[in-house]
Structure 1
Amino acid sequence: MKRVAAALGGFLLLGASAVMADQKIAVEQDNLMRAQGKSMYAIIGKMVKGDIPYEQKAVDDAIADLEQNVAKISTVFTPNPKEQVKDATYGSSQKIWENKKDFDSKIPPVQKAIADVKGKIKDIDGLKVAFKSINDRCSDCHETYRLKLK
């Protein structure tokens, strides 16, 4: 009886460890996408809408952050956490891991859109063009691989 209880306890600990590991992976993926969302929408998007004033340094920093973070997508999304972040608004579709090659193919066009505008944005009109170009490439992936949870 003690052996059965010990074995069952071991399986429960293993299961809990796997769930915690999956949640850690899901949170890492979510944090990466949130960082990109901050640069894209909380900074660039708000400037484009006129919600915050145009500021060149903030634009340059946001573009640099996007460039750095987009390069991490394929690696960060290699493990499949098989669960969503608790209380998240958006999550990752299992389609990512069912068709990882297609998912990964969406990254270079985003990188190209960023590279095409980097260092060339000098005013709000240029920022509007850059925002649309980058956002359109982001949407190519989001339409297939992002889930609205709430």
Structure 2
Amino acid sequence: MLVRTAVCAALAVALSAGAVLAQSKAIAERKEIMKGVGAAAKQGAALARGTEPYDNAKAVQVFAVYASAAEKMPGLFPDDSKTGGETTASPKIWEDMAGFNAAMAKWGASAKAAQASVKDIDGFKTAFGEIGKQCGACHEVYRIKK
């Protein structure tokens, strides 16, 4: 009887640890992806402002990072990742998952379209500004301000 209790307790601890690791993994992945988005946004701002010489390959790469993030993010919000890991994800994501996924799809489609169409600084500035507004709108609703 004592052995069975010990085995059950060990199994419960292992399962709890697994759940915490899964939660931590999703939050860590979200954070890593958003760090990449932040770096791409910084690169894009430098190109748009002219503090870095315009390079179309770099401009296209900014949008490639955005498109990749938009594709990955919807799968990184399991129910067990609502808290912990210093997440800034708002509970509104889980309350309105369809709206969040739609925002990600729109952002991704815009980024892919920009990736394919941007050929010069003027086109980049326009697309970068429009996509930046989508980022801000999503953060306004689905991110906790700290």
Query: Which moved further from structure 2: 135-144 or 113-122?
Result: 113-122
Cα displacement (A) at 1:129: 1.0
Aligned match for 1:92, one of 89, 92, 105: 89
How far apart in 2 are the matches of 1:16 and 1:99?
28
Cα distance, 1:8 vs structure 2: 4.3
Q: Over residues 84-114 of structure 1, what are the superposed CA-to-partner deviations in whole Å (9 max), with x where a residue is unaligned?
A: 434xxx6211211121111112123213322
Q: What TM-score do you get using the length of structure 1 for normalisation?
A: 0.78
- Unaligned runs of 5+ residues in structure 2 are none
TM-score (norm 2): 0.80
After the TM superposition, which segments of 4 or more aligned residues of structure 1 sit over 6 Å from their partners?
A: none
Q: Give the whole-Å Cα distance in 1 for the aligned partners of 2:124 and 2:54.
A: 9
Return the structure number with greater helix share.
Answer: 2
**What is the letter of the counterpart of residue 70 of structure 2?**
V
Aligned pair partner of 1:114 in 111, 114, 123: 111
1:36 is matched with: 37
Partner of 2:47: 47
Q: Is the Cα–Cα contact under 8 Å of residues 84 and 92 in structure 1 kept in the other structure?
A: no
Q: In structure 2, how many angstroms separate the alpha carbons of the residues matched to 1:84 and 1:38?
A: 24
Q: Deviation at 1:63?
A: 1.8
Structure 1: gaps (5+ residues): none
Residue 33 of structure 1 deviates from its aligned partner by 2.2
SS in 1 for 2:144: strand
Q: Which residue of 1 aligns with 2:22?
A: 21
Over aligned residue pairs, what C-alpha RMSD do you find?
2.5
